Structure 1
Amino acid sequence: MAPYEPEQGTTDAEELSAGRRKAARYLVPVAVAGVAAATIGLVPALASGGDPDLPKLTAQELIEKIAASDTEQLSGTVKINTDLGLPSFGGGAGAFAPGGAGGGGGEDDEGSAADPAAKLMELASGSHTLRVAADGPDKQKVSVLDDAAEYSVIHNGDDVWAYDSATNEAYHTKDTGKSGDRSGKKGDLPKDVPATPKEFARQALKAADKTTSVKVDGSAKVAGRDAYRLVLKPKDAGTTVGRITIAVDAKTGTPLKFTLTPASGGAAVVDVGFTKVDFAEPSASTFDFKPAKGTKVTEEDGRAGKHGSGDFKGAEPAVNVIGEGWTSVAELELPGGQGLPTSGSADVPADAQRFLDSLGDKVSGKFGSGTVFKTRLINALITDDGKVYVGAVTKDALVEAANR
């Protein structure tokens, strides 16, 4: 873990089909916002039902308590509220994602409605309820609950399944260890799947270096359990992150809630935390999954058919990180090395174009020219020659990074 400075007194073939290539070009701002939000840490406002009286701990002691936590078995309900400030056009941002509403998964479409990369984009806005369970490094399950449907990702041993009950589609892959947890170990859900507040806290604590003020700020009651509040505040100018608050279970050291508030103030960008949690061993049947007859199954190698379509994931672009800490910026290239389609292009549906125009500001510099797409937390600069600069930083910081 990186060092930090406590305050005094406390302390993310051939080629894809033409249709998906076109989609990727105007989906980048939306995808970047969603993935970056998940990577930086989806967050919740901490509910206090009478703050408990707990023994005093320093920030260093509390961080050590988190690091020493050996919680491997739990189940519970997680509430996620996301407010990135994205405008809504009917189906919302997720409607433009391949495999999302209006984005694929049909019989004649090469995409899959069970594709986690597309399905989990829906978590980038609105309120969602997740049911989670874990039993050691080889068994985890995350289910996104809707009014009349359920979407689940299940890891059990060497198998990883994703299933969408609304479309009766499933995605299947083998766990080779490459899709393991964020520390690179074998046996966790794919990295795009938010599991528990612990995953988000881990990302935030990676940034808790000398550019960060860290302190313990009282206690709270979360999901009926006593918890400490750990508060992180960036010292760097140029970041859009205002503060992060992590509620840490006083007994187990497990993060129970995670709240990120933007530097611009107002409500939390995203709220993520347990409303119910149980540290007992989940039933073994929780992690069982076998597609029923008639389920459309997409295998990782692209073979599809009725049990007994499509590409799950294209080649990931190379990412270059500029800078360090809270003001770091990721640099990558759009597919095909081209910038965004211009207004009126046949490649872009009208709703998608309105969505892009509502977010974008034209900018220029030594790098050339481009458009900055803004949310309350994540901003992205897409240059006219097809490069993308993205981070939890201001517009000026993006332009400065591109000028380098």
Structure 2
Amino acid sequence: MAPYESDDNTNEDLRTGRRKAARYVVPVAVLGVAAATIGLVPAFAGSGDPDLPDITAQQLIEKIAASDVQQLSGTVKISTDLGLPNLGGGMGGGGDDSGSSADPTSKLLELASGTHTLRVASDGEDKQKLSLLDKAAEYSVIHNGDEVWAYDSASNEAYHMKDSSGAAEKGTKGKADDVPATPGELAEEALKAADDTTSVTVDGTAQVAGRDAYKLLIKPKTSGSTVGAISIAVDSKTGLPLKFTLTPASGGAAVIDAGFTKVDFSKPAASTFDFSPPKGTKVTEGDEAKAEGPADRAQPKGGEDLGEEFQGLNVIGEGWSSIAQFDTGGEGMPSESSDAGDAGRFLDSLGDHVTGKFGSGTVFSTRLVNALITDDGKVYAGAVTKDALVKAANAAK
């Protein structure tokens, strides 16, 4: 099927479709954490592209917006390659003195690097389950009504709290929603960028987990972004995003690759969402963890808000080339010539030293996001190239 370029005159319609698209995300967040990564596979799989009726980009966005999938189960994978070391260290670390090893807030950060296998299930807004599998161990988060449990089989620890936040009524929005985890959430974030700086096309069809799907292709029109393209496979029947792939402008493997490997849209068994901690399990109550957790200990002395450490957050530019700029209110990174000595040399080895009208600083890079920290404590960060950061810093002087 040939691509269909979106009409530039329909940008307002695209924006309307984006706003509506917020409704389609399957509500599988627990603890206010968007914890349901619905799968990732290394490439589109299938025995040939299905022959589906032609559809425009606008019609496909509207199909996503109209999707209302509430029940599903499946086996999934998540693969993320930012060029960073693995953040998880595997399951079964047994926790530490700072809290429970079963706390989802930190446990699910493992999904930010490497490849992981998961099982997911959802039955409406108040019943979800996510299980992260690792060899013989399993980590599960279960949301059933007003009960939320997380269990780490390797350490035999559980984390429990009451869901009194009304997450379901609020569309499962929680404190970790700014870190999209599901193909649906990732697609929603990508669609927010579908403005005049974006090319949105239908790029043929594919089969994902045995389902016929359209491929929506999103590409920046402007230069300077590290994003090459985003491909979203959309189920032709339900409108649910089945797969999300973000490739960098620099080429190579995908930075994020997300999609179902198996999916079933029938109602999961009620027992799927039942949980009682096994005998001998160490149980941590959520309120206790909040009172004693590392987040509280990390607050600056004197009780001031951590956000006050960053002065005047600004956004430079728009769309794909936007850059966040703020002032740390202090000095920049220690240099080799500073009193920091070895620390300065170590940090210099991790980044690239740059100079310009702004002075000098260090650029720290991943395969997607780059950050410039100037010697006088200013930070410029975004999914843009190193040259774009230096240009922004020069213009700000």
Q: TM-score, normalised by structure 2?
A: 0.75
Indicate the residue corresponding to 2:282 in structure 1: 295
Partner of 2:49: 51
The corresponding residue for 1:29 is none
8 A contact 2:40–2:77 mirrored in 1: no
**Aligned mate of 2:118, from 126, 130, 142:** 130
Question: What SS is found at the alignment partner of 1:52?
Answer: coil
Structure 1 partner of 2:63: 65
CA shift for structure 1 position 300: 4.0
| Structure-2 separation of matches of 1:316 and 1:117 | 18
Distance 1:310 1:365, change over 3 A: same
Match of 1:325 in 2: 319
- The residue aligned with 1:310 is 293
CA contact (8 A) 1:111 1:312 kept: no
Report the Cα offset of residue 297 of structure 1: 1.1
**Alpha-carbon distance between aligned partners in 1 of 2:306 and 2:91, rounded to the nearest angstrom:** 20
Q: Decide whether the 8 Å contact of 1:180 with 1:189 is kept in 2.
A: no
Where do residues 243-282 of structure 1 align in structure 2 (5 Å cutoff)?
243-282=229-268
Which residue pairs with 1:380 in the alignment?
A: 371
1:399 partner SS = helix
Out of 91, 95, 107, the position equivalent to 1:119 is 107
Q: Secondary structure at the match of 1:47?
A: coil
Contact 2:91 2:154 in 1 (8 A): no
CA shift, 1:245, in A, is 0.6
> CA distance change for structure 1 residues 166 and 211 in 2, over 3 Å: closer, same or farther?
same
Q: Which amino acid aligns with 1:70?
A: D
Residue 206 of structure 1 pairs with residue 202 of structure 2: no
The letter of the residue matching 1:277 is V
1:394 aligns with 2:385: yes
Contact 2:40/2:260, CA 8 A, preserved across alignment: no
Deviation of residue 172 (structure 1)? 3.7
Over residues 269-292 of structure 1, what are the superposed CA-to-partner deviations in whole Å (9 max), with x where a residue is unaligned? 221110000111122232233434
Partner AA of 2:367 in structure 1: R
Q: What residue identity is the alignment partner of 1:397?
A: A
Corresponding residue for residue 35 of structure 1: none
Q: Could you say what secondary structure the match of 1:302 adopts?
A: helix
Is the 1:248–1:257 Cα contact (8 Å) retained in structure 2? yes
Report if the CA contact (8 A) 1:81-1:126 is conserved.
yes
Q: Quick one: distance in 1 between partners of 2:76 and 2:369?
A: 23
Q: How does 1:166-181 map to 2 (within 5 A)?
A: 166-177=154-165
Query: What CA deviation, in whole Å up to 9, does each residue of 1:20-43 have, x standing for no partner?
Result: xxxxxxxxxxxxxxxxxx99x988
Give the letter for the 2:284 counterpart: V
Contact kept, 8 Å, 2:102 with 2:151, in 1: the verdict is: yes
Aligned to 1:25: none
Distance 1:152 1:391 in 2: 33
* Structure 1 residues 130 and 101: CA distance shift in structure 2, 3 A: closer
Single out whichever of 77-86 and 116-125 deviates more from structure 2. Answer: 116-125
Identity level (%): 67
Measured after TM superposition, the shift of residue 152 of structure 1 is 2.4
What SS does the corresponding residue of 2:185 show, helix, strand or coil? helix
187 and 397 in structure 1: CA distance in 2 versus 1, 3 angstrom threshold: closer
Q: Report the AA paired with residue 267 of structure 1.
A: A
SS at match of 1:278: coil
1:400 Cα offset (Å): 3.6
How many residue pairs match? The answer is: 353
Gaps of 5+ in 1: 12-37
Structure 1, residues 259-310: CA drift from partner, whole Å, max 9, x if none?
A: 1111111221221110000111122232233434431415245368xxxx52
Question: Which has the higher relative contact order, 1 or 2, with Cα contacts under 8 A spaced 6 or more apart?
Answer: 1
- Structure 2, unaligned stretches of length 5 or more? 12-35, 299-304
- Write the distance in 1 (CA, Å) between the matches of 2:214 and 2:139: 32
- Measure the CA separation in 2 of the matches of 1:263 and 1:178: 40
Where does residue 130 of structure 2 map in the other structure? 142
| 1:284 correspondence with 2:270 | yes
Q: Secondary structure at the match of 2:214?
A: strand
Which residue of the other structure, out of 228, 253, 258, is the alignment partner of 1:242? 228
Instruction: Summarize the Cα distance change of 1:280–1:6 in structure 2 as closer, same or farther, 3 Å threshold.
Output: same
Name the larger-Rg structure: 2
Taking the aligned partners of 1:342 and 1:111, their CA distance within structure 2 comes to: 35
Residues 84-123 of structure 1 aligned to structure 2 (within 5 Å):
84-86=82-84, 88=85, 92-95=86-89, 105-106=95-96, 109-123=97-111
Letter paired with 2:149: W
> d(CA) in 1 for partners of 2:188 and 2:261?
20
Which residue of 2 is the match for residue 75 of structure 1?
Answer: 73
Quote the Cα distance in structure 2 between the aligned partners of 1:371 and 1:101.
36
Q: What is the CA distance between 1:368 and its match in structure 2? A: 4.9
Encode CA deviations 1:219-260: one digit per residue, 9 max, x unaligned.
111100100111011111110000111111000000100111
SS at match of 1:63: helix
